[in-house]
């Protein structure tokens, strides 16, 4: 199908979540087009150890430069959009957008649209410490009129540690799932009408069946938006 645009995946942060993106994109294209159709993709997959070290050091400028270089490589390889397969690194989305002449499909914009479509204006945000504590993600949601609640400090630390100590390593534990559900319950008690899974790996742990409020799985939403773009007429 020549009119299908080529999606550029900027992944590896971690590869566990990028693998989920790859599966969701191809499943969605097959479901929409039928037959033997699959997504037209190019991928740049970075070494997460390098990115994680820059995160810990707080060297976001270097991280932005690294991902901007990878985005340019995607464009050179024929990508017609960039999908950054991580919530946390949307902190450097501006650097990536400035480096390329193709659109970056911003994950927080896609998520905000879904929250508003569900009739909600206040949600809990789970993610890495960087995503929950720093304003880059919550402010983007707030710019769409969505109020954001994050966990209290002890719960925030638990959510972050499970991501880095377990999920990015492919470890999924029932005890951690139960702990996350308890965190969500406390956020709902504070007034959250839904929960944004603002880290792609979290979707490996909990989903709509685990909690009593709407769940916004950002990876699935992001992948769907990318397929919308790919199948839209140029």
Residues 73 and 124 in one domain: no
- 1 occurs within a structural domain: no
Annotated active-site residue in 18, 86, 128, 200: 86
How large is the angle between the packed helices 48-57 and 60-76, nearest 10 degrees? Answer: 150
Residues 101 and 175 in one domain: no
Q: Does the active-site annotation cover 76?
A: no
Residues 101 and 117 in one domain: no
- 58 occurs within a structural domain: yes
Number of Cβ within 10 Å of residue 162's Cβ equals 25
Residues 113 and 207 in one domain: yes
Q: What is the pTM of this model?
A: 0.89
Tokens encoding 97: 């957008």
Domain that holds residue 52: 7-106+221-231
Report the CATH number that the domain containing residue 35 is assigned in CATH. Answer: 3.40.50.1860
Residues 83 and 114 in one domain: no
Q: Does the active-site annotation cover 199?
A: yes
Number of domains comprising the chain: 2
Digit-by-digit pLDDT tens for the chain (234 residues) are 457 999 999 999 989 889 999 999 999 999 999 999 999 999 999 999 999 999 999 999 999 999 999 999 999 999 999 999 998 899 999 999 999 999 999 999 999 999 999 999 999 999 999 999 989 999 999 999 999 999 999 999 999 999 999 998 989 999 999 999 999 999 999 999 999 999 888 988 999 999 999 999 999 999 999 999 999 976
Cα three-residue angle 36-41-45, rounded to 5 degrees:
135
Residues 93 and 180 in one domain: no
- 2 occurs within a structural domain: no
Annotated active-site residue in 199, 200, 218, 219: 199
């Amino acid at each position: 199908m020549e009119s299908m645009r080529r999606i550029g995946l900027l992944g590896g942060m971690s590869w566990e979540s990028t693998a989920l993106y790859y599966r969701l994109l191809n499943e969605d294209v097959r479901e929409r087009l039928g037959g033997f159709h699959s997504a037209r993709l190019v991928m740049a997959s970075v070494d997460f150890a390098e990115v994680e070290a820059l995160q810990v050091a707080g060297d976001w400028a270097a991280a932005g430069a690294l991902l901007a270089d990878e985005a340019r490589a995607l464009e050179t390889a024929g990508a017609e959009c960039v999908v950054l397969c991580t919530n946390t690194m949307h902190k450097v989305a501006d650097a990536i957008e400035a480096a390329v002449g193709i659109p970056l499909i911003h994950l927080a914009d896609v998520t905000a649209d879904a929250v508003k479509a569900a009739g909600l204006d206040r949600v809990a945000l789970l993610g890495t410490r960087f995503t929950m504590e720093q304003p880059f993600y919550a402010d983007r949601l707030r710019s769409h009129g969505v109020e954001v609640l994050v966990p209290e400090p002890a719960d925030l630390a638990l959510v972050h540690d499970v991501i880095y100590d377990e999920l990015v390593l492919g470890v999924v534990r029932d005890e951690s799932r139960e702990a996350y559900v308890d965190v969500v319950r406390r956020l709902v008690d504070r007034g959250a009408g839904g929960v944004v899974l603002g880290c792609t790996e979290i979707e490996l742990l909990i989903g709509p069946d685990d909690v009593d409020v709407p769940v916004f799985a950002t990876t699935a939403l992001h992948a769907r938006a990318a397929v919308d773009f790919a199948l839209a007429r140029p």
